[in-house]
Each structure stands twice: as C-alpha cells, then as structure tokens.
Structure 1
Amino acid sequence: MSPTKNKSASEFDNVLKQQKKSARKARFKTDLPLYLMMAPGLIYLIANNYIPMFGILLAFKRINYSVGILKSPWVAFDNFEYLFKTKDAFIMIRNTLCYNAVWIVMDIVIAVFIAICMNEIAQRRVAKVIQPIICFPSMVSAVILSFLVYAFLSQSYGYLNATIFKDNPIAWYTTASYWPIILTIVHIWQSAGQSSVIYMASIGGIDKGLYESARIDGATKREQIKYITLPLLKPMIIMLLLLSIGRIFNSDFGLFYQVPLGNGMLYETTQTIDTFVYRALIQSNNVGQSSAASVFQAVIGFVLVLLSNALVRKINPENSLF
C-alpha cells in the first residue's frame, strides 16, 4: 500500500475518533441532568448496600476489639449455630415468616383496591386531595407511630379503654394475643397508601381507548376492571410480589420494637429476627452473632427471589424479572 493511501486511512481514522469523541461529549451533556438526578440514589445505594458487604466477615469471626476485625479469630459457622439453637429461634422465625406472608398478600390486595378506587373517582380535584391523605401515614416515623398507638391502647388513659371498653379495660401491653391484629392494622394503615401509588401510576398508563371500546360493547365497570385493569396490572403485581418475597425474612424494626414499646411480655408475638439481632447486640455485645442473623436473612431472601422468579419464568416468561 502506498504512503499516500496509508496517510489517508490514518486521517480517516483520526476524523472518525474525533467524531465519536464529540458524540460522547454531546451525549454526556444531554444526559448530565439525568446523571445528577441519579447521583443521590446511587450514593445511597453504594453507601448502604455495597460498602457494608465487607461486614459479611463479621458473621464468621469472634470479634476481639483489642486486635481488630481482620485479626480476630475465625469461628466458621458457630455464630449461625447459635442463631438456631437459641430458645427464641422458632418464635422469631415463625413471627417473621407469618407476618410477612400475610402482609404481602394483604398489601397487594388493598393497594390494588385503593388504586382502582382512586382511578374511578370522576372529579380529579377530589382524587388529588385524597391521595396525599392516604399517603401521609407512610411519612410518620416509628417513634411518633408508637405514641399514636399508645394513645389508643394505654390501659389507664387510652382512647379505647376510655370509651369502648370503659367497664372492662383491656391490658393491651401485657397481653400478647392481641398484637398480631394490632400490628397488622398499624402496618396496613401505614403502608397501603404508599403501595397504591405504584399501581395508580400503572393504571394511568393503560390506554384509555381500551375502556372506551369496552364501554361501547356494553361492559360494566366491574367487567372493565376484571378484563382490562387487572390483567394489565398483572406484570407489576408479579414484579412487586417477587421483590417482597426477597424481604420475607426481614421485618420493620420500628413497627415490631417501637410500637410494642419493647415490652418483654409481648415477645411471643412481636419478636422477629430484626428485633432479636438488636437485643442480642445490646445485651451480649456479640457483633458476630448479630451479623450472622443479617447474613442469613440476605442469603435466604436472595435464594427465594431466584426460586420465585424461576417459577414465574416457567409459567409465564414475560412476567419474570430476569
């Protein structure tokens, strides 16, 4: 090949590289606002989900602060063995699983119901007023929530004992059998509105022409919901269900510890893995055992998501997460 042709090819490559570089810069400038919007969430994700992964080491060590974490002795699976041998093992695993299993189903049903009802409100101004009201409980902190519940359930000054059960006051904070219902009511009150927002957004994206066609064909509102809304919500329901299954061994610490006021007499129905981890850390200062419980939650949740997604993919590949 002649030197002239080599020079032309080299110049063409340089021009092509410059064009690609300019295109990348232009694309970066165009996408910069999106990167800035993503940055806080990405930083939060890295700081709270990825950096703490190095703490997995703690689950396999007996921490000795005098020599440091890395030089502390390895204990293999001893910390995990303690987790299952403790007398509270059955209670905390049972409570965590049972509460979450029931709440996952109830959350989906109630959130979808609220979303459909909100969508059927003809006056949009009314809907805009109602939506913040039903979402407000999700912004209430666990501490404030515990005081609100106490205002209702206090044996001496609680609203329920002062009105409905005035003649025969109930000792709510010393009777464990009431708390599965109490915690379920509080959980639904706090989470249903926020969960429904996702379904409202999904319903808002459904083509209105489908409803118009169904209305022309004589379909009632119930039939429109049954044959249009619910089938088109199915992928979103399955996706949120799979994500919820991944956290079935986790629990809302504030709900299970703050709302019952950490009362030991209620452990039978309020003790979960998360509250056990906290109490074990506070009482025995054993970081290894607490870390083992957290690792156990994460691994089981990960496996359950994989199995659930594989089952969904086998039944209907289009609705699987991956």
Structure 2
Amino acid sequence: MMAPALLVLLMNNYLPMIGSLIAFKQIEYTSTSFIRSFLESKWVGWENFNYLFSTTDAWTITRNTLAYNAVFIVLNLVIGVTLALLFNAMRNRRLAKLHQTAMFLPYFLSMVVISYLVYAFLNPDIGIFNKIVLPALGIEPIDWYTESKWWPFILPIINTWKGIGYYAVIFLAAIIGIDNEYYEAATIDGASRWRQIFSITLPLIRPVIIILTFLQIGRIFYSDFGLFFQVTRNSGILYDTTLVIDTYVYQGFIVSGDIGMSSAAGLYQAVVGFVLVLLSNLVIRRISRDDALF
C-alpha cells in the first residue's frame, strides 16, 4: 500500500535533487538537449558559490533575509495563536466563521495584486496615506519608495496581513480538537479564563506550534520573492533594507544568465535550512523530548 506513495515521493522529491549537481558545473549549451549539455559541461567545484560571498552585498542580503524571516516567524506565531484564541472564544459561531473566511482571503491573493493594493496606499502623489491619512494627522507627505527606513516596518505588516489567516486557522483547528472536559474540570476548580489558556490550551497545542515553527525555520534562508520584488517595485534606492537572497540571485541571473550560480544559491539555501531544522530539533529535544520531531 505504501508503494505508490513512495514512488511519487521518489519521483517528485528525490530525483530532482540530481539537479543540485548543476551548482558545481559551468553549464554550456553544447547541444539542443539540456541533459546532454549538463553531462558535457565541465566541473568547476565551488566557483559558483563564490558569487554569493565575493561581493559587498553578501552581508546585506544575508542580514536582510535572516532578520525579516525571524520577524515573520515571531509575528505569525504570536498573532496567529492570539487570533485563534479570540476566534475560539466567540459565542456566535456564524460570525466567527465569517471573520475566519475574511481573514483567510488575503492568503490566496497573488503578490502582484497585493503590490498594486500597497501602491494605492503608498503612491507618493495620489496614495491614500499621502492624500488622506497623513494630512489629517498634520504630517508631511512621505515618498515611500525612496526612503528605505520605513520598509522594515511595512514589509512585516504586509506579510502578516497576507498569511496570518492561514496560521490562525491551523491553530484554531488544534484548539477545537482539545477535549472540553479539561476546561470543565478547570472551571470547577475555579481557574480563570487566562489560567485555562496558559495551563491547558497553549500546552496542548504546543506540538502544532513547534511543527509550524520548524517549517518556517527550514525556509528562513528563503524569502517571498513577490513580497520583496513586486511590493517594493524593485526600487534600487531601497536595496539596503529590501534586498534579499532571492531577489539578488534573480537580478544576477537576469544580468549574467548563469544557471550554475542560481543553482548554487538554491543549494546553499536548502542546506542551511536543513541544518537549522536539525539544530532547532536538537534544542527542543533538550528542553522537551516528547515535543521533538525526531
């Protein structure tokens, strides 16, 4: 019974890993067949990886990628759990479902669409903020796409708004699955609502929290390309705070067309993510062995 699933896993997840070898080769299109070109291309060792670390932008893109993703993980965890608790506390279930649906909707929107929504707010000339909000507060208009200091706050807000519905629904499903007898016993013992949250709800949904956190840590060296490229409109003046590994590699690939360099960046991101998951799991095992994934 496991054979079909294992076959799909092998073909979909493991065979493509052979493409990681591209990171160690200089692809030269010697024929119309990519496979033949791949086999005939020469090995260059670690030369493709030097591209990521030999420029002055290496520190900037690494710092931005890690810092933004760390903030995203914290916000998704804290706000996601908070919203799930609030949804679970709503007495009117129909109204709760309406709120959940409304919050989940942005998750399905393309970043292209979201970039235009953001531009409608931040347009220097006709944007809602510069035309309505800031004048009402007595603040001078801001040229959002030329001042990089605002984007470390703007990007986390947009990312959280788009994806928080997904995390809230998962946490809510975990909360709903908790046996109601725990809460009844706690109520009889005189436990307050806050006490029930910290002593029953959060400990029982801890495995779900850990799994979702692990999944995000595994991609901490990746970034949402649409968020950092489309939403910022690829404004060069913002690169100090918006340039991440994915957009940097994309721009390098567009300029040089070097598929080996792009593959090296992808392999680097995957290996670092895998190592971080292993280290995170090791820490969890030291704290609570039962909550570790392996």
**Residue of structure 2 equivalent to 1:11:** none
Unaligned runs of 5+ in 1: 1-27
1:129 aligns with 2:101: no
SS of 1:173's equivalent in the other structure is coil
Q: Quick one: which amino acid aligns to residue 257 of structure 1? A: F
Is contact 1:239–1:319 with CA below 8 Å preserved after alignment? Answer: no
Aligned pairs for 1:167-186 (under 5 A) are 168-186=140-158
Question: Matches of 1:308 and 1:45 in 2, distance apart?
Answer: 26
Question: Matches of 2:263 and 2:79 in 1, distance apart?
Answer: 34
Question: Matches of 2:121 and 2:18 in 1, distance apart?
Answer: 43
Question: Matches of 1:88 and 1:314 in 2, distance apart?
Answer: 36
1:95 aligned residue (30, 50, 64): 64
**Residue of structure 2 equivalent to 1:109:** 78
SS of 2:191's equivalent in the other structure is coil
Question: Matches of 1:300 and 1:45 in 2, distance apart?
Answer: 22
Give the TM-score taking structure 1 as reference length: 0.84
Question: Matches of 1:217 and 1:45 in 2, distance apart?
Answer: 53
Aligned pairs for 1:308-319 (under 5 A) are 308-319=280-291
Q: Quick one: which amino acid aligns to residue 255 of structure 2? A: Q
SS of 2:38's equivalent in the other structure is coil
Q: Quick one: which amino acid aligns to residue 16 of structure 2? A: P
1:236 aligned residue (208, 212, 217): 208
SS of 1:164's equivalent in the other structure is helix
Q: Quick one: which amino acid aligns to residue 244 of structure 2? A: T
Identity, in percent, stands at 49
Higher mean C-alpha displacement, 55-64 vs 111-120: 55-64
**Residue of structure 2 equivalent to 1:61:** 25
**Residue of structure 1 equivalent to 2:219:** 247
Residue 134 (structure 1) shift = 0.7
RMSD over aligned Cα, in angstroms? 1.9
Question: Matches of 2:107 and 2:204 in 1, distance apart?
Answer: 26
Q: Quick one: which amino acid aligns to residue 113 of structure 1? A: T
- Count of residue pairs the alignment pairs up: 285
**Residue of structure 2 equivalent to 1:209:** 181
1:194 aligns with 2:156: no
Is contact 1:146–1:258 with CA below 8 Å preserved after alignment? Answer: yes
**Residue of structure 2 equivalent to 1:19:** none
Residue by residue over 1:19-68, the C-alpha shift from the partner in whole angstroms, topping out at 9 and shown as x without a partner, is xxxxxxxxx7xx9xxx8xx89xx969954x43432221111011111251
1:266 aligned residue (238, 252, 255): 238
Higher mean C-alpha displacement, 309-318 vs 170-179: 309-318
Question: Matches of 1:46 and 1:277 in 2, distance apart?
Answer: 27
Question: Matches of 2:23 and 2:156 in 1, distance apart?
Answer: 32
Give the TM-score taking structure 2 as reference length: 0.92
1:305 aligned residue (265, 271, 277): 277
Judged with a 3 Å threshold, the aligned counterparts in structure 2 of structure 1 residues 234 and 80 are, in CA distance, closer, same or farther, namely: same
Question: Matches of 2:11 and 2:156 in 1, distance apart?
Answer: 32
